[in-house]
Structure 1
């Protein structure tokens, strides 16, 4: 059995991948009742790792909970637990003593699903939730469930993906207001920020709809999840810099901001994850992945406007999203992307957006080396984890 540590970092997730690929045996996975981390995108990266485990080594999912299950609802409400419980449902879900607890989890799942569908009183939005360290919202779609259960109305209209980000703005207005509760007196100043956030969410979730539901033979993946985690993050500038003291790429980003009177910096983290075949596999003709430099070039191709493998009449409406996200983040934010063997980031404040049709003019930086011409070949991960770090500045 492999145990997910309660204190989690990107480096520790990398160690989990090392263990996952050490041999080919099936093993059980133990999820802790909570995790603590200061790394952006950590929940999305953890969900991606669990999705990888499910595809490659899936045994039983073990949930850490008290013997009387009095904390079970709080545990399932954790943002990294619910999407993985639904994915692992057919494998088996047990407590530490080996008791099947699916019958106890099912009503909690139904409550969370209803809350996500209605966008009302979602457990992760509960101010009294003891693990809450900021305002956040989780919205997840499951393609292997019936559409009335697996698709969320905020993203789907008559089983088709919503037509525009304006539609999404209307659906998510209350959710965005909640996530941005830190300053209700600045509602007018927050409106452009909300439009940017909705634009990012629309493009990333539409990208999962277009590309992350099927394999290369157009067969629906089963099970399959696609989700959004959005949260407000507030810390002192010193805390951000200390956390990323060994990551020059992100340390310099946080160091570039001026703080408020409390020496604080505010950010919105938007993470979109899926358990599809990944950006690289989607654009290759076989399961065998090319070398890391070729994979990087494929990812760069995905960042070029209208550059897509889709040959249908809708081609002009596909391939736009990632380019648009760079435009929205230009001179402001950071994105962190992990897919297949690729793990990269880009500081759009330091390296502003330049529209181009030449992939060799697009800069990506290796997450570990911080270099744009030398990339680490990581263990293969399932699907994609795409995290946006968006600064909240009201001056």
Structure 2
């Protein structure tokens, strides 16, 4: 059985991918995730769950705890990763092994889905954040904050994505939205638009062009407040890899202010905003190489394909509404000292824009340099972490 704890990290998910075919193919996910599923965890878990579900006809999800079945399923259905777990599960077992109705359990997530559709952003998830999840074949698959009409390809305009992104970030942290500023929020929303547009165009169908029966496309906005000068408490674990190095560098570089004791002190916490755009479709390399399988494609070639995919978002039009190209967005990420990671296929890539040496072109590094080839995973997940305050 594959069990994720509340402290699940990127490394834990990578390890679990290698265990999917090992019997019994049962998965347990916690009701809550430490740090609220930040640093790409929510998207990566959704990718894992899709990979697991497509590998097994029974794909059993087992609930944690000793609580009543109704309480356990209701609590799980309040968070993005929990909704995804219930959605991708084909069978469901209670804490003691009793069989439960998956469809009935999933109905407990309906209030969250309706909040997404009605743009009640603060009610879209239990912890501090905004989740917009488009679940294939669901009644409310095409959410109004993302789509103009309920059909594939009918996304809202870039200018409407600016309004959506601003409202979403403001709903979780008005201060962070103010610190980021209108101009940068507009550029961030442009990236959200381009990446979500990619999920709509390329993340919904299998190799034969048929719509997946179980598939999710999502956008997650999270607010993270991390403490300064604390080695363990209040900071992510080492399993977050490059993201942890980025966060630590940002925290240590914060400007210090004179306190009443005459000594210099950093502010108690630094706020970050994470934007996670993900899908559980075919994955970038398969989609853009036209292959059903990745066998025969080296990891280096896969990275090259991914880089070309990312560059496909470029446009010659000027202005946010018409599109100013990915280069302009990368310049904004550089200005904001942001961190970008991408998990797709067999690669996990990242780019840190916080250092003085960081460029403004897409030159990603491997998340784990000693093991460049990862277990294959469904879809693609982009995580962008931005320090809200630049001081």
- Poorly superposed stretches of 4+, deviation over 6 Å: 317-321
Question: Match for residue 231 of structure 1?
Answer: 222
Q: What residue ranges of structure 1 are gaps of 5+ in the alignment? A: 309-316, 356-361
Q: Deviations over 1:140-163 (max 9, x none)?
A: 1123335xx211011111234324
Contact 1:306 1:320 in 2 (8 A): no
| Partner Cα distance (2:247, 2:107) in 1 | 43
Contact 1:273 1:384 in 2 (8 A): yes
Contact 1:340 1:381 in 2 (8 A): yes
Question: Match for residue 318 of structure 2?
Answer: none
Structure 1 residues 394 and 346: CA distance shift in structure 2, 3 A: closer
Contact 1:345 1:365 in 2 (8 A): yes
Q: How does 1:35-184 map to 2 (within 5 A)?
A: 35-37=33-35, 40-57=39-56, 59-64=59-64, 66-67=67-68, 69-88=70-89, 91-96=90-95, 97-102=97-102, 104-120=104-120, 122-124=122-124, 132=127, 135-146=128-139, 149-158=140-149, 159=151, 160-181=153-174, 183=175
Structure 1 residues 240 and 231: CA distance shift in structure 2, 3 A: farther
| Partner Cα distance (2:231, 2:381) in 1 | 21
Q: Deviations over 1:304-360 (max 9, x none)?
A: 24579xxxxxxxx999875554233124211111100001110123354445xxxxx
Question: Match for residue 391 of structure 1?
Answer: 387
Q: How does 1:296-307 map to 2 (within 5 A)?
A: 296-305=303-312
Deviation at 1:172, TM superposition (A): 4.7
Q: How does 1:325-364 map to 2 (within 5 A)?
A: 325-331=329-335, 332-350=337-355, 352-354=358-360, 362-364=362-364
| Partner Cα distance (2:389, 2:246) in 1 | 18
Match of 1:255 among 241, 249, 252: 249
Structure 1 residues 341 and 318: CA distance shift in structure 2, 3 A: farther
Deviation at 1:219, TM superposition (A): 1.8
Structure 1 residues 14 and 68: CA distance shift in structure 2, 3 A: closer
Question: Match for residue 14 of structure 1?
Answer: 14
Structure 1 residues 394 and 377: CA distance shift in structure 2, 3 A: closer
Contact 1:168 1:202 in 2 (8 A): yes
What SS does structure 2 have at the residue aligned with 1:45?
helix
Q: What residue ranges of structure 2 are gaps of 5+ in the alignment? A: 257-265, 316-320
What SS does structure 1 have at the residue aligned with 2:350?
strand
1:207 aligns with 2:198: yes
